[in-house]
Structure 1
Amino acid sequence: MPIHRFSRRTMLRGLGVTMALPWLESINVWGDEPTGREPSSEAPLRLAVLFAGNGFHGREWWAKGAGADMELGQVLAPLADYRQRLLFIQGLYNAEALKGNIHSSQTGNILSGAPLASGGEIQSGTSVDQLLAERYGRSTKVPSLVLGCEKSNPSVHKNYSMLYSSHISWSSPTTPTPLELYPSLAFDRLFKDEVSRGDRSVLDAVMADAQDLRRGISATDQRKLDEYLDSVRDVEQRIERAGQQGELQGWRPTLDKPNVPRPPEGIPQNIADHMRLMIDVLVLGFQTDTTRISTLKLNNDHSSLRFPNLGIDYMIHHLLSHTDNADWLKVNQFFVEQVAYLARKLDAIQEGPRTALDNSMLLFCSSMMSGSHDATQLPVVMLGGAGGKLKGGRVLDYREQPERQMCRLYLSIMNKMGVELDQFGDATRALEEV
């Protein structure tokens, strides 16, 4: 796999701003020098992990069959258009997560399989995304983008720190990777050399450089560059409008006082808009090769989110997860719709013969099968093509297998990204079928 490195020509630059380019046919935008004998650089492989806390509807998380004929349970119905690129994996689990049998003890090691310290102490393990960021992410401006839609909870619940429930990404066994909750600051981190709430548009800063580049590329690439710049501008304008309307927390103040009721600490007033903006920023990070690794925690385990956008505002997410009723199914589908939205956005980006979805791996999971705290098997779905290395339209069942560690999946993911380890967490070999 080519090792992509930054060079002067891969970037658009302006005062205080550095912006990577999308895939273009006219130039090797990711820095590989042509030799006259080798094909031009391929788009890099990306990994996005999306997490939804508290599991799913106990009777509607399932898939069977293969390819276009694959049948999906109602929870996964929003992914029906992607059945041929979907890998449904059942039976994997984290043995260490079974020890506490509560939300925090089942979430803090979801991406590492590490033992967790109890008694309010913090001790987990470096997560797979951060290990990849350390090794695979060296070629990008931002090694990993760690996003969240619900504020961390520092309390202790039943002898385990609730920080475990709040974080799936861990930079070290004692350090949860800080979550970026504000789309505006996540956007800044991708494109500004210094993260700030500055007033100047990213596009305005690099437009002169973009015009110089445009004169030297093909008509097809000119259209692609224009579409890319339009998408950056669209996110900028949506962030600006959200601040002006007071719809989300964390924006640059534009009102003397809120014009909508203030929600509980850390919870967006409009969760649907918040999630979509986070996904849009994630897509831009992948599209520009500013980052290749991202996690998006849609909510905490033991979550306090409410869903007035769905007409479900009478019960918080955690309590709703114990019901298995029609409203719980509706909330589940709302979360899966975010995965489908990410897939659609990436699939609309053409990168040579493939799309950005073809060049990505999307992992969607939770720390328990259902709200009854059943972690004996975990809900796992993968989407994307991993640059031709991942085959969709399949169901893999490991429920009767003696070695069904979730960390075997992580070894498989790392192998596809060129990081080969003899062991990760409690696993010593990858899942050959993935």
Structure 2
Amino acid sequence: MRSRPISRRTMLRGIGVSMALPWLESVSAWAQESAGAAAAEPPVRLGVMFSGNGFHSKEWWAKGAGAEMELGGVLAPLHAHREKLLFIQGLYNEEARKGNIHSSQTGNLLSGAPLASGGEVRSGISVDQYLAQTYGRSTKVSSLVLGCEPPNPSVHQNYSMLYSSHISWSSPTTPTPLELYPSLAFDRLFKDEVNRGDVSVLDAVMEDAHDVRRVVSSSDRQKLDEYFDSVRDVEMRIERAGKQGELQGWRPTLQTPNIPRPAEGIPQNLADHVRLMCDIMVLGFQTDTTRVCTLKLNNDHSSLRFPHLSVDYMIHHLLSHTDTPDWLKVNQFFLEQVAYIAGKLDGIQEGERTALDNSMLMFCSSMMTGNHNNDELPVILVGRGGGKINTGRVLDYRGAEQRQMCRLYLSMMDKMGGRPEKFGDASTPLDEV
């Protein structure tokens, strides 16, 4: 470490472990690898978050602008971030209205592609994976695709339920595999060998970390310490979940099991599971280990229950057909995760902007409400896309002639420098984004 300069591509390394550096003011951050290249701006990140089955019909709204923006009950958790929020009305996917309910409303949410029926699986490459295959090549992990509910492989009304279970597609016939286990998602960011799961990342790289701390500024040392604290916190929470037996899925029915207990698993408490995945997204962006992350909070046609909210009498899908206070409570739980990620990113300074200013967090669903209406879709963007998005606004496309969701994706690709001439069913971006 002492014999070579520290650049953006310098990794803290240990046996079977590598950890990217966060943005540091005293390091040539995100400089290109060619000799003599000038330091570049921090990169733009894309985070896509999805919750199935829509939202409370009377509480998904926003009006006003900037600090005066008012938010409906569903979006209330984002009140502190309203000046960095775009509320977008009226966009939809025409192809999603041609099939059944649920499956064909979800499988092309991020692509706008036609869907195959009859149990066949064919959609289109999703916006996150298009960017992963282009923009994401310069990072250790081209994209991180996380989930908090397992896929459903059945068929519903002549369409595969894999469409309801996956919003990220690597090719028209390949839904991107979901990582449901926080420990394995963590390993993808920091560990280079699958069998090193029992080694603490921080312990493994600590020697390199001490060398870096000696040559950076005092403010960067504080930033490194805060970053290492975040990594250690996630490690310890994953470890505690395993030691306390908070494992979802298989559990022994015998007092002394006659098969081995899985070494790792999914936290039984949904709130813990979701929050760990949120922290892993933040760490991925903070270290530039990945610039593209998709987090599917639940499936469309979801079977999740919410005992931590005292809402355990009905699964998510059935609850979505009501407009009860409990349905609003569940909606707000998911928006709290968006607000949590936004808050964490906004607390990470990257030069004159924060990591949230350098990100685009899109939160969406496959229908407006649980009554399957998808003639317009619920969509918000949080973050300023590298300072290229004028936020704190409501954009209304309900009367527009061309209101394809894919126009939004073209606009977002623009902010990341990777827009094709056409994507899905759109060839022009939204000028207002």
TM range (shorter): over 0.9
Q: If the length of structure 1 is used for normalisation, what is the TM-score? A: 0.93
> Which residue number in structure 2 is paired with residue 273 of structure 1?
272
Query: In the alignment, residue 141 of structure 1 is paired with which amino acid?
Result: K
> Which residue number in structure 2 is paired with residue 49 of structure 1?
48
Check whether the contact 2:303–2:315 (CA below 8 A) recurs between aligned residues. Answer: yes
> Which residue number in structure 1 is paired with residue 22 of structure 2?
22
Tell me, what secondary structure is at the counterpart of 1:89? strand
Tell me, what secondary structure is at the counterpart of 1:386? coil
> Which residue number in structure 2 is paired with residue 61 of structure 1?
60
Query: In the alignment, residue 228 of structure 1 is paired with which amino acid?
Result: Y
How do residues 25-174 of structure 1 correspond to structure 2 at under 5 angstroms? Answer: 25-32=25-32, 38=38, 40-174=39-173
Query: In the alignment, residue 28 of structure 1 is paired with which amino acid?
Result: S
Following superposition, the deviation at residue 274 of structure 1 comes to 0.4
Q: Does residue 319 of the first structure (1) align with residue 321 of the second (2)?
A: no
Check whether the contact 2:8–2:21 (CA below 8 A) recurs between aligned residues. Answer: no
Check whether the contact 2:247–2:266 (CA below 8 A) recurs between aligned residues. Answer: no
C-alpha distance in structure 2 between counterparts of 1:268 and 1:193, whole Å: 24
> Which residue number in structure 2 is paired with residue 390 of structure 1?
389
What do the CA deviations read for 1:103-150 (whole angstroms, capped 9, x no partner)? 010000000000000000000000000000000001100000000000
> Which residue number in structure 1 is paired with residue 417 of structure 2?
418
Q: CA RMSD in A?
A: 2.2
Q: Does residue 239 of the first structure (1) align with residue 243 of the second (2)?
A: no
Following superposition, the deviation at residue 9 of structure 1 comes to 5.5
Following superposition, the deviation at residue 248 of structure 1 comes to 3.8
Check whether the contact 1:365–1:381 (CA below 8 A) recurs between aligned residues. Answer: yes
Following superposition, the deviation at residue 71 of structure 1 comes to 1.0
Structure 2 unmatched runs, 5+: 1-5, 258-264
> Which residue number in structure 1 is paired with residue 350 of structure 2?
351
Check whether the contact 1:52–1:335 (CA below 8 A) recurs between aligned residues. Answer: yes
Tell me, what secondary structure is at the counterpart of 2:167? coil
Tell me, what secondary structure is at the counterpart of 2:239? helix
C-alpha distance in structure 2 between counterparts of 1:33 and 1:305, whole Å: 46
C-alpha distance in structure 2 between counterparts of 1:37 and 1:169, whole Å: 34
Check whether the contact 2:346–2:355 (CA below 8 A) recurs between aligned residues. Answer: yes
Following superposition, the deviation at residue 92 of structure 1 comes to 0.2
Following superposition, the deviation at residue 431 of structure 1 comes to 0.3
C-alpha distance in structure 2 between counterparts of 1:171 and 1:221, whole Å: 37
Structure 1 unmatched runs, 5+: 1-5, 259-265
C-alpha distance in structure 2 between counterparts of 1:318 and 1:108, whole Å: 17
Following superposition, the deviation at residue 194 of structure 1 comes to 2.2
Tell me, what secondary structure is at the counterpart of 1:113? coil
C-alpha distance in structure 2 between counterparts of 1:9 and 1:79, whole Å: 34
C-alpha distance in structure 2 between counterparts of 1:398 and 1:9, whole Å: 42
What do the CA deviations read for 1:339-382 (whole angstroms, capped 9, x no partner)? 00110111111111111101100000000000000000000000
Tell me, what secondary structure is at the counterpart of 1:296? strand
Q: Does residue 403 of the first structure (1) align with residue 364 of the second (2)?
A: no
C-alpha distance in structure 2 between counterparts of 1:156 and 1:37, whole Å: 53
Query: In the alignment, residue 372 of structure 2 is paired with which amino acid?
Result: H
C-alpha distance in structure 2 between counterparts of 1:257 and 1:301, whole Å: 37
> Which residue number in structure 2 is paired with residue 218 of structure 1?
217
Distance 1:317 1:14, change over 3 A: same
Greater shift, 40-49 or 404-413, is seen at 40-49
Distance 1:29 1:13, change over 3 A: farther
Query: In the alignment, residue 387 of structure 2 is paired with which amino acid?
Result: G
Query: In the alignment, residue 121 of structure 1 is paired with which amino acid?
Result: E
C-alpha distance in structure 2 between counterparts of 1:41 and 1:61, whole Å: 39
C-alpha distance in structure 2 between counterparts of 1:301 and 1:342, whole Å: 22
> Which residue number in structure 1 is paired with residue 260 of structure 2?
none
> Which residue number in structure 1 is paired with residue 262 of structure 2?
none
Q: If the length of structure 2 is used for normalisation, what is the TM-score? A: 0.93
Tell me, what secondary structure is at the counterpart of 2:75? helix
- Sequence identity, in percent? 75
Check whether the contact 2:46–2:359 (CA below 8 A) recurs between aligned residues. Answer: yes
Tell me, what secondary structure is at the counterpart of 1:223? helix
Query: In the alignment, residue 189 of structure 1 is paired with which amino acid?
Result: R
How do residues 290-369 of structure 1 correspond to structure 2 at under 5 angstroms? Answer: 290-369=289-368
Query: In the alignment, residue 14 of structure 1 is paired with which amino acid?
Result: G
Tell me, what secondary structure is at the counterpart of 1:315? coil
Following superposition, the deviation at residue 93 of structure 1 comes to 0.2
Check whether the contact 1:268–1:274 (CA below 8 A) recurs between aligned residues. Answer: yes
Check whether the contact 1:182–1:249 (CA below 8 A) recurs between aligned residues. Answer: no
Check whether the contact 2:8–2:28 (CA below 8 A) recurs between aligned residues. Answer: no
Distance 1:402 1:275, change over 3 A: same
Following superposition, the deviation at residue 29 of structure 1 comes to 3.7
C-alpha distance in structure 1 between counterparts of 2:403 and 2:190, whole Å: 40
Check whether the contact 2:366–2:377 (CA below 8 A) recurs between aligned residues. Answer: yes
Following superposition, the deviation at residue 268 of structure 1 comes to 5.2
Query: In the alignment, residue 281 of structure 1 is paired with which amino acid?
Result: I
Check whether the contact 1:113–1:426 (CA below 8 A) recurs between aligned residues. Answer: yes
Query: In the alignment, residue 308 of structure 1 is paired with which amino acid?
Result: P
Check whether the contact 2:125–2:170 (CA below 8 A) recurs between aligned residues. Answer: yes
Tell me, what secondary structure is at the counterpart of 1:377? coil
> Which residue number in structure 1 is paired with residue 431 of structure 2?
432
How do residues 371-382 of structure 1 correspond to structure 2 at under 5 angstroms? Answer: 371-382=370-381
C-alpha distance in structure 2 between counterparts of 1:432 and 1:197, whole Å: 48
Tell me, what secondary structure is at the counterpart of 1:388? coil
C-alpha distance in structure 1 between counterparts of 2:24 and 2:10, whole Å: 10
Query: In the alignment, residue 114 of structure 1 is paired with which amino acid?
Result: A
Following superposition, the deviation at residue 198 of structure 1 comes to 2.1
> Which residue number in structure 1 is paired with residue 3 of structure 2?
none
What do the CA deviations read for 1:41-60 (whole angstroms, capped 9, x no partner)? 32111000000000000111
Check whether the contact 1:150–1:267 (CA below 8 A) recurs between aligned residues. Answer: no
Distance 1:324 1:401, change over 3 A: same
Check whether the contact 2:100–2:159 (CA below 8 A) recurs between aligned residues. Answer: no
Following superposition, the deviation at residue 199 of structure 1 comes to 1.1
